[in-house]
Structure 1
Amino acid sequence: MGAAEGAGSQVKSAVRTVELLEFFAGRPGMHSLASVQESVGYPKSSLYMLLRTLVDLGWIETDATGTRYGIGVRALLVGTSYIDGDEVVAAARPTLDRMSDDTSETIHLARLDGTSVVYLATRQSQHYLRPFTRVGRRLPAHSTSLGKALLATYTDEQVRKLLPETLEPLTEHTHTDREKLIAELAVIREQGFAVDREENTLGLRCFGIAVPYRTPARDAVSCSVPVARLTGAHEQMIKDALFDARDRLLLATRRL
């Protein structure tokens, strides 16, 4: 094997490793070798060897039978390191705390990653008795107030290049037509915030606003509230809190 061939093989192996980790990160639980192979399409023998290497290194875990695979603890350590070392997340903590106190609702900070938003920080609603967090979770940008607020900082042509014509529905209220979504983005640009009207989770309305410390924006904050107890006065208070949070985050990130 020549040097060029060897280098190409190493790159291919690295790409497959990352793709495998992303496969498991996006599909919680344990999966058989056959189901993984069907999804990623790698030759079964090389897939098995790669999985075994990742198991030995702690990036992938197996069940008691050793025949089913899932994401390993080392992936958690890397994800935690990313969030702990992110300057925006650190700068946002006081603002997220204040917004949580002001609204008593669930607050999120998320980042646009391709066609999805990834949750970086959460403050849980004071109305919930059980713990719940979305840190590290990835959701389609078109179905969330966070994602729509961020997409609105792009031009229509940039959005057309980024998103497919037909969008995945998460609920019966989700936009599935890209052009209809683009029409809503124009409204979002004008009013300054986005609304998720049960487009991601039935019974839940979310309000999101982009933090434009860069253009286009990559981070946004949101407030989620059950539709059943959302009043006009509470909605206005949430919107006011969003604009206040955006201004505070702009000041906090000015030096970054």
Structure 2
Amino acid sequence: MTGPGSPARPNAVKSADRTVELLEVLSASERPLTLTELHRELSYPKSSLYMLLQTLVARGWVELDPTRGTYGIGVRALLVGTSYLDHDPVVRVAIRVMEQVRREIDETVHLARLDGSDVVYLAGRESEHHLRVVSRVGRRLPAHATSPGKALLAARGPQEVDAILPTRLAPLTPNTVVDRAALHAQLAGFRAAGYAQEREENTPGLGCFAVALPYRTPVLDAMSCSVPLGRLDPEHERQVVTALLHGAHTITELLRQFGR
């Protein structure tokens, strides 16, 4: 997929490319954006960008705040995203097992999928603790800074990992591993252990563990569990890892039975 402002793919329809890029920029932004900000981000002719926005507003894919003159992602995008999850057989199988894992350890459990150099969170089951991690389906984070991303990268060789990741590994917190040699050493350890983990690499105060779901090759999905560090002692860590490994085995066997 081309990034904002990059040339269209060969044989691509320019208007379709621009529509998708515009929606991706809006969905990735933490706040609605003005026409000027979108023009700066995408470098489309301002008149063409305005007309495209008006079309998407009329169709419900983009929402306009007329008092501020800002544009944000619309409800139609939510409906399409929900449809994707409703029809994904992996999500349907995994969600039942994730609920069992959540009941067993009472921590927030996620299903994530590798998409380029990022992971996208497809489903979640939240802990019942007062202090808990809130599940955010659709969230996208760099694979190198998350435990599900590390688990999925560890399922690949060093050359493939380098081909997936960007040249510069951006830090999300001061604890994010951004040195490539250190990351490769970390992944080698996770590969040997059979699961991945991280401490405050993307969110302060949180630790996370993850296991890849090897029901297909290449491996694209992983199940993870996030735990506030305040209650993460060695015994609870053992419980979390054991539950994840068992749950991942169950999901993998079920998907293989269904021919996935």
Tell me, yes or no, whether TM beats 0.5.
yes
The residue aligned with 1:111 is: 113
The residue aligned with 1:251 is: 253
When structure 1 is superposed on structure 2, of 65-74 and 36-45 the one drifting more is 65-74
Assess, with a 3 A threshold, how the Cα gap between structure 1 residues 244 and 20 changes in structure 2: closer, same or farther.
same
The residue aligned with 1:55 is: 57
The residue aligned with 1:205 is: 207
When structure 1 is superposed on structure 2, of 128-137 and 147-156 the one drifting more is 128-137
The residue aligned with 2:148 is: 146
User: Which of 67, 70, 73 is equivalent to 2:72?
Assistant: 70
* Mapped partners of 2:150, 2:182: distance in 1: 12
* Mapped partners of 1:171, 1:83: distance in 2: 30
* Mapped partners of 1:156, 1:64: distance in 2: 50
The residue aligned with 1:80 is: 82
The residue aligned with 1:242 is: 244
RMSD of equivalent CA atoms? 1.6
**Contact 1:149/1:220 (8 A) holds in 2:** yes
Cα offset for 1:89?
0.4
* Mapped partners of 1:160, 1:10: distance in 2: 28
The residue aligned with 2:3 is: none
- Structure 1: runs of 5 or more not aligned: 1-7
Cα offset for 1:132?
2.9
Q: Percent identity?
A: 53
When structure 1 is superposed on structure 2, of 72-81 and 161-170 the one drifting more is 161-170
The residue aligned with 1:40 is: 42
SS at 2:110 equivalent: strand
The residue aligned with 1:98 is: 100
User: What TM-score do the two structures reach when normalised by structure 2?
Assistant: 0.92
Assess, with a 3 A threshold, how the Cα gap between structure 1 residues 64 and 128 changes in structure 2: closer, same or farther.
farther
**Contact 2:126/2:132 (8 A) holds in 1:** no
Structure 1 stretches of at least 4 aligned residues deviating more than 4 Å after TM superposition: none
CA deviation digits over 1:191-240, x for unaligned, max 9? 00000111010110000010001122100001111111111111101110
Assess, with a 3 A threshold, how the Cα gap between structure 1 residues 107 and 87 changes in structure 2: closer, same or farther.
same
User: What TM-score do the two structures reach when normalised by structure 1?
Assistant: 0.93
When structure 1 is superposed on structure 2, of 159-168 and 50-59 the one drifting more is 159-168
Cα offset for 1:29?
2.2
Cα offset for 1:130?
8.1
- Structure 2: runs of 5 or more not aligned: 1-9
When structure 1 is superposed on structure 2, of 157-166 and 8-17 the one drifting more is 8-17
- Matched letter for residue 150 of structure 1: L
**Contact 1:106/1:225 (8 A) holds in 2:** yes
The residue aligned with 1:159 is: 161
**Contact 2:33/2:72 (8 A) holds in 1:** yes
